[in-house]
């Protein structure tokens, strides 16, 4: 018991911004609920206010308060919202995607705001579990392994209280694990930046200021808004602005920043998981103190995007990855993170490109619950097959295609090995390309669609027919180089200078910004070789025709920040400067 309690309280991923918005009559915040004790005095705000608007049909939403949970539960805890349609499109969408990603877990819902729960119950006749009810439901159903994934936005006070509440039930379960909020690691910030900039790219025309409204908190965690703003600015999104309703940056701060540019139009969108009261009223309302009205008074054409972050697939995938980490912390559970199946820069490799033989390869999966722990590629007579060793035994068959198209004659059954593991032997048409694969769950008796990518990265040189290493004589050359990573705004010059000395190649990396002070390659730090103009580095080239991981430190933010990138040097583009 003590060990489990200590483990729970050691989860210091505290967060104050939680998911939802209320109805326009709610006085509770959309996200960060700092003063929980004030709830009881605010319950009457619903009862005294007759709504004159329609928030959608509550019956379309899955409240996920069913029994018959089983031994494994994944409880998604949200602040909540009484905006029915947006609750379904955000919180509901997150829950649905988590359920698809983890078919071995029963996904259930809990809200932390009893004000919202009571209002939805009174207005719509729909019951939603609060924290105690959702935890007690798990106890009554005999749940052994409980994973809790909050839809908090960032670290803060309420998450501490949530962890404490869960700790009160620690003796009722064999194992408990709690997932992280949305914005926890630097990688989380990068992914959220990609999500919001890609989501609004159609409005990024050079004459439009794109403004996101967060909730804000008096706690130290409010610094996440400044960090996100600094990252956007450093990555070239100078027309993107972050503000808050309750803290800083304020509306005035955002307004002054927009006025400093030559913008004709303003796009407003909430930086909140759901689009509820704050989004509909404080941001997009017709009242004189709304963000929309304030910008219109200054002569801007304003367009409001009433959509919560939970409607964005990248955001939902980030919650899935956090839930996966929580599952990994449970002893004996899967230890493979959710994989990214994007391999856009890798060329397909076919059986005709390879020599016959058996080779170890890696496999990316769109679902961490389809956990491939080992894979052997077999090449013979112009065909490829892969023997996939699974991390669990929850699937009876796989089908190479969408589950809706599965026919019994094409089912591929598992083979049980001497150590008890299950393997599936599947045909492979090509490496480095996305392949549809469906898995039939033993427990749910349903097909779950996955996307696999069989990678060529681990193949040795001798696996390829007519493989040749790039060998260069000492001298000076040029080579085309491409950059990936960060937000996608950073650029480098290509082609660039390539110098070979004593058989070692060195490349000149010229950035489109003067704000990089060092790079890290192969765990070695390299300082900029110039003091004026855009940052320039000379770094060793460890390989051609494959992605090389590097880091670059930018000083454009309020504090220096290392950003991860990959470089790709194309050997076919190498030219001798004397030619």
Classify burial at 36, counting beta carbons within 10 Å of its beta carbon; exposed 0-12, middle 13-18, buried 19 or more. Answer: middle
Q: Is the peptide bond preceding residue 249 cis, with omega within 30 degrees of 0? A: yes
Write a three-state SS string for 261-314: CCCCEEEEEECCCCCCHHHHHHHCCCCCCCHHHHHHHCCCEEEECCCCHHHCHH
Q: Contact, 88 vs 124, CB < 8 A? A: no
Q: How many residues does the chain have?
A: 579
Both tokens of residue 284? 């997009």
Quick one: residue 503, left, alpha or beta (phi over 0 = left, psi -120 to 50 = alpha)? left
Helix/strand/coil for 211: strand
Q: Which of 435, 456, 437, 452 is nearest to 377 (CA)?
A: 456
Cα angle 513-516-521, degrees, rounded to a multiple of 5 = 125
Q: Which of 46, 29, 166, 43 is nearest to 114 (CA)?
A: 43
Report the catalytic residues: 215
CA gap 93, 385 in Å, rounded? 36
Q: Where are the beta strands (DSSP E) in 309-368?
A: 357-360, 363-365
CA torsion through residues 552, 556, 557, 558, sign: positive
CA gap 293, 285 in Å, rounded? 8
CA gap 321, 69 in Å, rounded? 22
Q: Contact, 320 vs 147, CB < 8 A? A: no
CA gap 197, 223 in Å, rounded? 20
CA gap 319, 173 in Å, rounded? 23
Q: Is the peptide bond preceding residue 278 cis, with omega within 30 degrees of 0? A: no
| Owner of token pair 């004030």 | 38
Both tokens of residue 235? 């990555």
């Amino acid at each position: 018991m003590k060990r489990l309690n200590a483990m729970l309280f050691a989860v210091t991923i505290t967060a104050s911004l939680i998911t939802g918005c209320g109805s326009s009559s709610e006085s509770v915040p959309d996200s960060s609920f700092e003063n929980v004790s004030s709830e009881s005095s605010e319950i009457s705000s619903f009862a005294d206010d007759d709504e004159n608007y329609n928030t959608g049909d509550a019956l379309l939403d899955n409240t996920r308060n069913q029994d018959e949970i089983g031994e494994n539960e994944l409880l998604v805890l949200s602040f909540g919202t009484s905006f029915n349609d947006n609750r379904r499109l955000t919180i509901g969408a997150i829950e649905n995607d988590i359920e698809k990603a983890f078919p071995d877990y029963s996904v259930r819902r809990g809200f932390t705001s009893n004000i919202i729960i009571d209002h939805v119950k009174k207005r719509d006749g729909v019951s939603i579990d609060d924290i105690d009810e959702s935890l007690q439901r798990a106890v009554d159903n005999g749940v052994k392994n409980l994973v809790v994934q909050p839809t908090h936005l960032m670290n803060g006070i309420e998450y501490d209280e949530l962890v404490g509440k869960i700790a009160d039930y620690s003796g009722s379960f064999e194992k408990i694990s709690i997932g992280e909020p949305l914005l926890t690691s630097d990688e989380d910030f990068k992914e959220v930046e990609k999500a919001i900039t890609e989501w609004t790219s159609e409005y990024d025309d050079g004459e439009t200021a794109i403004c996101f409204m967060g909730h804000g908190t008096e706690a130290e965690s409010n610094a996440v808004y400044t960090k996100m703003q600094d990252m956007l600015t450093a990555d070239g999104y100078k027309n993107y602005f972050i503000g808050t309703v309750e803290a800083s940056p304020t509306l005035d701060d955002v307004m002054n920043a927009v006025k400093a540019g030559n913008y004709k139009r303003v796009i407003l969108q909430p930086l909140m998981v759901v689009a509820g009261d704050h989004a509909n009223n404080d941001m997009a309302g017709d009242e004189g103190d709304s963000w929309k009205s304030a910008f219109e008074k200054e002569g801007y054409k304003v367009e409001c995007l009433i959509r919560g972050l939970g409607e964005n697939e990248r955001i939902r995938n980030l919650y899935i990855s956090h839930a996966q980490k929580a599952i990994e912390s449970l002893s004996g559970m899967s230890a493979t993170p959710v994989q990214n199946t994007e391999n856009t820069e890798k060329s397909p490799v076919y059986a005709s490109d390879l020599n016959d033989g058996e080779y170890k390869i890696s496999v990316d999966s769109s679902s961490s619950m389809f956990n491939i722990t080992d894979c052997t590629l077999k090449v013979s007579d112009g065909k490829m097959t892969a023997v996939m060793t699974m991390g669990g035994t929850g699937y009876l068959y796989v089908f190479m295609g969408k589950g809706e198209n599965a026919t019994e004659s094409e089912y591929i059954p598992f083979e049980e090995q001497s150590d008890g593991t299950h393997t599936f032997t599947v045909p492979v048409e090509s490496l480095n390309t996305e392949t549809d694969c469906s898995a039939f769950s033993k427990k749910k008796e349903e097909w779950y669609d996955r996307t696999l990518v069989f990678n060529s990265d681990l193949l040795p040189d001798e696996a390829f027919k007519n493989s040749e290493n790039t060998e260069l004589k000492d001298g000076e050359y040029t080579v085309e180089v491409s950059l990936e990573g960060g937000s996608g705004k950073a650029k480098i010059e290509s082609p660039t200078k390539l110098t070979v000395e004593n058989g070692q190649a060195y490349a000149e990396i010229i950035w489109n910004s003067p704000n990089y002070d060092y790079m890290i390659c192969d765990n070695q730090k390299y300082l900029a070789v110039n003091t004026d103009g855009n940052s320039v580095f000379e770094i060793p080239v460890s390989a051609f025709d494959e992605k090389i991981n590097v880091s670059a430190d930018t000083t454009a933010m309020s504090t220096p920040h290392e950003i991860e990138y990959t470089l790709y040097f194309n050997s076919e583009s190498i030219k001798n400067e004397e030619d």
